[in-house]
């Protein structure tokens, strides 16, 4: 605001004050420039706070969490701009645990998660007066990634456990009877995720089990995309990440639940049917039943239009949809 405008308003303010009979005036010195400026600023703030003018009020929804869901969450937010122009959705990653903690603490409206909330998290939420509500918004096949020159075409859950699990005896590619071009050391380079990641938690549950921890010495990446990029550029590497982050520069072996069982490729279809052994639901959590703009947004995500967005991004919709 230009100072001259404030001064002009203050002149008018003083003139009006002078017209008031002395008996009706408030005690105290006449308003000087700084006091008048403060009077004007307080009035201006009041106008802004009350939404002066004819401008529509835009709702801002804060959405944070799973890096697996980051890709589609950003796509949902971008598409929703055309659905409701009065709502803006801010999306950040950081991992499932980070998003859940933020939802519990009230700093975000929606938490994205590639795993179910832990009992300890539910207890923390309830002690904070929050009753989390879970929404399944899609499904994902957790793919195993190999360098493009790695000749392995199939693996079992038991083999993955021997590679990634503490005490596992598979540490070199020659242990599997293969030689990987470009991997001069023959040593298997384990690429994993940080422990605040829902992908990290789910892989442990589905592959290692409750009785086994991860081997030490893995390269723990911050995001899903980072895992795939490192494997792509490291001939000795193996990693795991969401199917939506696959590129033509890496290989994804089929996975069998046990020796002799059908070896299933990670696809949207096998994630929907549950035939892929490492398929998982993708969730969003809200602090209590969503209301207003948050409810409208969640309803849209789970609608046919929202589910076609998740399908386009390489994930499986939570329900059958027909998309153009």
CA distances from 63 to 18, 66, 101, 160, 285 (A): 54, 10, 12, 33, 10
Q: Hey, which residues does 140 pair with through a beta bridge?
A: 280
- Report the run of H or E that residue 239 belongs to, with start and end: strand 237-242
pLDDT at 272: 86
pLDDT at 64: 98
Rounded-to-integer distance, Cα 116 and Cα 1, Å: 51
| SS3 (DSSP) at 190 | strand
Q: In this predicted model, which residue has the larger pLDDT, 227 or 58?
A: 227
Rounded-to-integer distance, Cα 99 and Cα 8, Å: 50
pLDDT at 82: 96
Structure tokens at 258: 């046990």
Give 127-181 pLDDT, tens digit per residue.
999 999 999 999 999 999 999 999 999 999 999 999 999 999 999 999 999 999 9
Class of domain 140-279: alpha beta
Q: In this predicted model, which residue has the larger pLDDT, 28 or 105?
A: 105
Structure tokens at 319: 């329900």
pLDDT at 26: 38
| SS3 (DSSP) at 154 | strand
Residues in the chain, overall count: 324
User: Is 80 exceeded by the pLDDT of residue 210?
Assistant: yes
**Residue 320: pLDDT band with limits 50, 70, 90:** confident
**Residue 30: pLDDT band with limits 50, 70, 90:** very low
**What's the mean pLDDT when you consider all of the chain?**
86
pLDDT at 6: 39
Give 234-247 pLDDT, tens digit per residue.
999 999 999 999 99
Q: Hey, which residues does 106 pair with through a beta bridge?
A: none
Sequence spans of domains, the chain: 3-21+28-49, 140-279
Under a CB-based contact definition with an 8 Å cutoff, are residues 284 and 113 in contact?
yes
Give 274-288 pLDDT, tens digit per residue.
899 999 999 999 999
User: Is 80 exceeded by the pLDDT of residue 48?
Assistant: no
Q: In this predicted model, which residue has the larger pLDDT, 196 or 184?
A: 184
């Amino acid at each position: 605001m230009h100072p001259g405008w404030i001064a002009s308003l203050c002149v008018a303010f003083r003139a009006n004050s002078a017209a008031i009979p002395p008996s009706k005036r408030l005690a105290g010195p006449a308003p000087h420039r700084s006091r008048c400026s403060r009077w004007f600023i307080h009035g201006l703030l009041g106008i802004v706070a009350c939404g002066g003018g004819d401008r529509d009020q835009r709702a801002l929804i804060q959405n944070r969490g799973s890096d697996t869901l980051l890709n589609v969450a950003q796509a949902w937010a971008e598409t929703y701009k055309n659905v409701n122009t009065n709502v803006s959705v801010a999306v950040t990653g950081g991992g499932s645990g980070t998003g859940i903690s933020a939802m519990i603490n009230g700093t975000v409206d929606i938490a994205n998660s590639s795993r179910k909330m832990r009992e300890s998290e539910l207890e923390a939420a309830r002690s904070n007066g929050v009753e989390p509500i879970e929404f399944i918004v899609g499904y994902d096949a957790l793919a195993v990634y190999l360098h493009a020159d790695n000749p392995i075409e199939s693996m079992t859950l038991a083999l993955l456990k021997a590679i990634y699990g503490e005490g596992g005896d598979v540490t070199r590619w020659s242990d599997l009877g293969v030689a990987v071009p470009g991997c001069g050391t023959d040593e298997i380079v384990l690429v994993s995720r940080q422990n605040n990641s829902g992908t990290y938690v789910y892989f442990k549950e589905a592959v290692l089990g409750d009785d086994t921890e991860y081997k030490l010495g893995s390269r723990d990446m911050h995001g899903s995309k980072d895992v795939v990029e490192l494997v792509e550029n490291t001939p000795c590497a193996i990693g795991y990440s969401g199917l939506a982050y696959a590129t033509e520069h890496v290989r994804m072996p089929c996975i069998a639940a046990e020796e002799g069982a059908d070896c299933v490729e990670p696809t949207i279809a096998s994630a929907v049917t549950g035939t892929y052994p490492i398929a998982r639901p993708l969730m969003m959590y809200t602090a209590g039943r969503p209301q207003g703009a948050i409810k409208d947004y969640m309803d849209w995500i789970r609608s046919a239009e929202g589910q076609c967005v998740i399908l386009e991004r390489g994930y499986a919709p939570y329900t059958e949809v027909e998309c153009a």
